[in-house]
Structure 1
Amino acid sequence: MQKYTTEEITSKLNNLDGWDYTDGALETTFEFKNFKETFCVMTRIAFECELQGHHPDWTNVYNTLTIRLNTHDAGGVTEKDFVLAKTIEEIIDSE
C-alpha cells in the first residue's frame, strides 16, 4: 500500500466526521453511555478489523474510546486506514 501525502490525507478527511490527522495517524474519540456500551462497540469493531486484516491502536477508559489508524507496514496513512475509519463510522452510526 502506498502511503498518502499530508495533502491527500487532509482532502480525504473531508469525507469523515470527527477524525483528525495527528502525529502520523487518523485519530478520533467516541463517548458512550457507559463501559458496557463502549465495550460492545469495540467488539463489533474488532470483528470488522479481523475481516479487513487491519487493526487500530486504541484506548478505552470507562465510556471513552480513542482510535488511531495508520498502516505500520507503509509507515503512514493509506487507503486501508480510510476504509477502516469509514467502517467504524458505519458501526457507530448503527448504534
Structure 2
Amino acid sequence: MLLTEEELIEQIGKLEGWKLVKNTITRKYMFSDYMKGIAFVDAVAAIAEAFDHHPHITIDYKAVTLRLTTHKEGGITPLDIRGAQEFNEAFEKAR
C-alpha cells in the first residue's frame, strides 16, 4: 500500500538524513574510509535479504547512497520506511 503524500512527509520527517527524490527515498552515508563503507553495505545486504526488500546501492569511495522504493506498488510504502529505519540503525552501529 502506497503512503499518501501526507504520510510520506510525516514519515520522512522522522528519518534522519533521508529525503524524497523522484519517487524514492534517498540517503547518503559518509564513512571515514572505504572499508567501513563496504562493511556497512554488507550489513545493509543482510537486512534487506532478511525482509526481502532491497535498496539501490551506490558506492563512491567513502560515500554509500541508498535509494528505496517499492517497484511493484509504484512508489513509497511502509516497507521502504522500515528499511530506512533499519539502515539508519546499522549506520549507527558501523560508526
Q: 1: distance between equivalents of 2:20 and 2:60?
A: 22
Instruction: Give TM-score, length-normalised by structure 2.
Output: 0.95
Q: Does 1:92 align with 2:91?
A: yes
- What letter is aligned with 2:54? H
Aligned-pair CA distance for 1:5: 1.9
Q: 1: distance between equivalents of 2:43 and 2:34?
A: 14
**Greater share of residues in helix:** 1
Match of 1:15 in 2: 14
Q: Does 1:68 align with 2:71?
A: no
Instruction: Give TM-score, length-normalised by structure 1.
Output: 0.95
**Aligned pairs, number:** 94
Q: Does 1:32 align with 2:31?
A: yes
- What letter is aligned with 2:18? W
Aligned-pair CA distance for 1:14: 1.7
Q: Does 1:42 align with 2:41?
A: yes
Q: Does 1:6 align with 2:24?
A: no
Match of 1:13, SS state, is helix
Q: Deviations over 1:12-46 (max 9, x none)?
A: 11211110011001101011011111000000110
Give the alignment's Cα RMSD to 1 decimal.
0.7
Q: 1: distance between equivalents of 2:87 and 2:48?
A: 9
